Structure 1
């Protein structure tokens, strides 16, 4: 598609340009400072789509410039250096190059030392050679780079993840690979609303580094400590990024001996958890005689696995929720791994019993990362912790963590001791991260540490290597988990006001019964540390239902775990009942 960019009103001088910002409408203010905070960064519509033409209006660019400038100023204040190092990258959206150029000029004016990702993929080289602001990376590799490079204090990824093509957004990471939320995110939104002009440096010099390579070195080193990867040599894999070519993942798999077949067909929306062309996928798998396919969203932090069942020859689709629970069960039972399980509340609970200790949290790595860094004794912003949804499973019940020290206390009260303990951080939508911890105790003093950098954001490449290894060893994931219980999810369409109304109404009904047809549920809640209710939990004898406001779209996400033969009907009835109420 052809991209047409509407020019901005710019006042030029010798060294910098000045952009005078128009006033924001009430609707634009809500987009920049939403009632329901996003789970990761800020996302906004940047393009209009008309037939085969993509239009980038100036009024939308001004909104992005506000956010860009606000992040630059707030992050520099948080870092506390006169010339911080920033890695600026994007996904493969058509708006990427233009926005990277605008952002780089803002960062240069603010005194940052700017790093771009080196392009080594031969197929992308020609495009990069003709584009001065070409700096592409998947979000996981970008985020982790803030921990893998001493010279990088800030990572900024321009991406809208799995949202439609017309969207773009910003994810950013300061000092730690952990999504920004709470006080810092509020400061960014407030600063973005207040500014009236932005200055951008005319000329700057970016330094190119190969952060992808350092990430892959780290991933292979860590994964080899978990499982022997040698069985992957000469296996075949079909890789389908829904946008772009995912050169970092191709390089990763090829380095361990996998023959990768790449599909370059773009999909809209770029989200494999809701959008798979099965006839096309099956034809490609048959053409290349491949039994394993990995499908990825735009910024490669949301994955779907499709395999051919060796017994029935039919394709089986594994969404992350059940896939990760099965992987943990195999690693614990057959490979004798000690696992600390850290998962978001709507994630599949069927792998919990195989793990030594389980924490459950609110949705998003802004919660999961706090468990990791809290366990390691790192300083966590009080405002971030107070707005977290953090629980530990004790005696078959979930107990709320009330203080950051409660994380270490829960581990100390568990029997987990030794080297290379697996702490897995994961969520139902696709994120997964493995960290290796050493837990020792001397004279009742427990020490938790790690010999390698720790990652508190989505980093699913490690899990993908392990999953492919288990498949090569003959494991069938559909045989691992209970077949009587299943999980699924749907969305109730709702704007921010309706999202809040649904959750607040059920919060006031806590402890009451909720009747839907012949089923009776008890209304429970999960709360933030500061006691604000954030997730509604309905439970019956056989079924668990969770719902919460989406941080990435206009709706309330509803998750259900229950009897396989009835959960779809049960979920539809619950959503229907809620819709009649609101």
Structure 2
């Protein structure tokens, strides 16, 4: 089973041998003849367990010297590009305006170029990220680098964009790559539409490409326009003044994170950038702490911000006197929400995935728990704002309203608005609606509750709504709070600790574990000498998504990963005993 988090030296483009594609000329274009897919490849493109966000595939094989990129793996991406191009055209009844972007992993530029040739052959209008506005041919194209959060935001912030395709495998090893796709809304495509794309991709035999010299691209500095949106969001929260003139260490694990760098510069920060690629590009699992400490001490900075490859997972290292404190996403966002609610009197609608940290629930006006991934979180945001979403996305969503005692299942848009209306103040002023998940994503939207009497009609957007991971505002706000002297650690209930492990499981094993646990729902199980009640979390179709183990002192969650071959297990409980509990439950699930 391939590891998505392989640790080692960064992979350079010149280390990769790309196998030649089978090409044949057609009238004014080129045809890619596709190799036959193996059963494993069919399962990867159309997985049994629905992915939480896009499709990720292993694209490189390690050799004695360097890496190879087999055509059989590379063309899986071309299949998906063609399927997206075809289905979007059918859905719209016309050609689309499409932005294509990528991260900086070594296979991304080649994939983006082929995506642009495929889309151009079908007549779509193509946009890419660049430092200046101009029209170029694909022959002149070099790179359309933009983080996944900014790519998804583009469909909300820029007028007239129908589709965004971004090539990235997020925090995973550079031997992997992936595709995330947004259609009309900044919510990752899921449900029936993603299934339709997978089926179409598998059916393909040949794919035509437009000649690169005749592909026209509209280049623009999309990042700067999205940063204007970020500045607008932040000014509605608190004034930024504490970080002005202060040094801050910034370490993007892949690429240069120009968008975050520019935001910090806007607020007068003295940015000390570490320009070193890491493998895997994920600071939550690959953190050379001594190296970070050295940069903090030499620069005189009290804060280091570490970013994964697509800049949606963050780690903060804070220097307090002679001590260094590491805070991961769950802790950062929990502390920020508590401080904004408690010290700045902000009303917060707390929308989080079920396994996320519960230690800010008490300071929120209300808490909604969702299934894992922004296909759930973003859908909740849009439905509550009266914006239609694909019917299959709501049907496959997992939504619970958290009560002081227990929870209530939310199975309709009316029930969602009723829950929000019963918990929000009736004053029609802007509130913060935060969407966040245990793996690191965070999004902050500004909305105004609109009541008709005592009934909530909708949450009216103050700024364009983002329904995918978009942590840029949170990064700036957290840096500001730290430099104002707020102690993020003391803002969290430290009697409770959150921890996580993963156990290996392919899709069939994931299903077997969930089926076995489904039979135990509502019963007590004894694990490591401790009694737990087994509780289920189900989507609106009744499908089991997450299992919870509950004792008097702790709560654990287990759920199949939507991005890798694993089952993830989380605990919120006492720090020392919790680690042993986590190990015991992991062993139990391995053998269930």
Normalised to the residue count of structure 1, the TM-score between the two structures is 0.96
Cα displacement (A) at 1:446: 3.3
Q: Tell me which residue corresponds to 2:443.
A: 433
Equivalents in 2 of 1:445, 1:486: separation in Å? Answer: 38
Query: Counterpart in 1 of 2:25?
Result: 12
Alignment length (residue pairs): 571
CA positional deviation for 1:224: 1.1
Give 1:51 deviation, angstroms. Answer: 5.2
2: CA distance, partners of 1:52 / 1:468 = 43
Q: Is the 8 A contact 2:430 2:462 kept in 1?
A: no
With 19-28 and 501-510 compared, the bigger mean Cα shift is at 19-28
Q: What do the CA deviations read for 1:399-443 (whole angstroms, capped 9, x no partner)?
A: 111112211111122232322210000011111111111113243
Residue in 2 aligned with 1:354? 363
CA contact (8 A) 2:138 2:216 kept: no
State the match for 1:222 in structure 2: 233
Matched, 1:329 2:341: no
What corresponds to 2:434 in structure 1? 424
- The runs of 5 or more residues in structure 2 that have no matched partner are 1-11
Q: Which residue of 1 aligns with 2:588?
A: 577
Pair 1:65 & 2:78 matched: yes
SS at match of 1:322: helix
Unmatched 5+ residue regions in structure 1?
A: 121-127
- Do the aligned partners of 2:420 and 2:456 also contact (CA within 8 Å) in 1? no
Q: From 246, 266, 279, give the equivalent of 1:268.
A: 279
Matching of residue 294 in structure 1 with residue 305 in structure 2: yes
Structure-1 separation of matches of 2:138 and 2:382? 40
1:303 maps to 2:328: no
1:125 matched residue in structure 2: none
Could you tell me which residue of structure 1 aligns to residue 56 of structure 2?
43
For the 8 Å contact 2:88–2:96, the answer to whether it is kept is: no
Equivalent of residue 207 in structure 2, options 195, 198, 204: 198
Write out aligned runs for 1:161-240 (5 A). Answer: 161-202=170-211, 203-240=214-251
Q: Alpha-carbon deviation of 1:355? A: 0.3
Q: 1:259 to 1:130 in 2, by over 3 A?
A: farther
Does residue 96 in structure 1 map to residue 101 in structure 2?
Answer: no
Distance in 1 (alpha carbons) for counterparts of 2:102 and 2:501:
29
Aligned to 1:516: 527
2:422 is aligned to 413
Runs of 4+ aligned residues of structure 1 deviating over 3 Å after TM superposition are 128-131, 442-447
Equivalence for 2:148: 139
Contact 2:138 2:217 in 1 (8 A): no
Write the distance in 2 (CA, Å) between the matches of 1:138 and 1:332.
29
Alpha-carbon separation, structure 1, partners of 2:280 and 2:233: 33
**Partner of residue 266 from structure 2, selected from 248, 252, 255:** 255
488, 491, 510: which is aligned to 2:499?
488
Asked if 1:112 corresponds to 2:121, the answer is no
Kindly report the root-mean-square deviation, in angstroms, between the aligned alpha carbons of the 2 structures. 1.6
For residues 229-250 of structure 1, what are the alpha-carbon distances to aligned partners after superposition, in whole Å with 9 as ceiling and x for unaligned?
0222111111111111111110
| Paired residue secondary structure (1:480) | coil
Give the Cα–Cα distance (whole angstroms) in 1 for the partners of residues 229 and 370 of structure 2. Answer: 27
Corresponding residue of 1:158: 167
Residue 451 in 1 paired to residue 468 in 2?
no
User: Which range is displaced more, 527-536 or 285-294?
Assistant: 285-294
Match of 2:3 in 1: none
Match of 2:231, SS state, is helix
Once residues 260 and 405 of structure 1 are traced to their aligned partners in structure 2, the CA distance between those partners, rounded to angstroms, is 47
Question: Which residue of structure 2 lines up, in the alignment, with residue 541 of structure 1?
Answer: 552
Q: Give the match for residue 499 of structure 1.
A: 510
Q: TM-score, normalised by structure 2?
A: 0.94
Question: What is the Cα deviation at residue 305 of structure 1?
Answer: 1.1
Distance (whole Å) between structure 1 residues aligned to residue 194 and residue 272 of structure 2: 40
CA–CA distance in structure 2, aligned partners of residues 532 and 55 of structure 1: 40
Query: Aligned with 2:570: secondary structure?
Result: strand
Counterpart in 2 of 1:87? 99
1:279-327 per-residue CA deviation (whole Å, 9 max, x = no partner) reads 11111221212111111111111111111123xx221111111211111
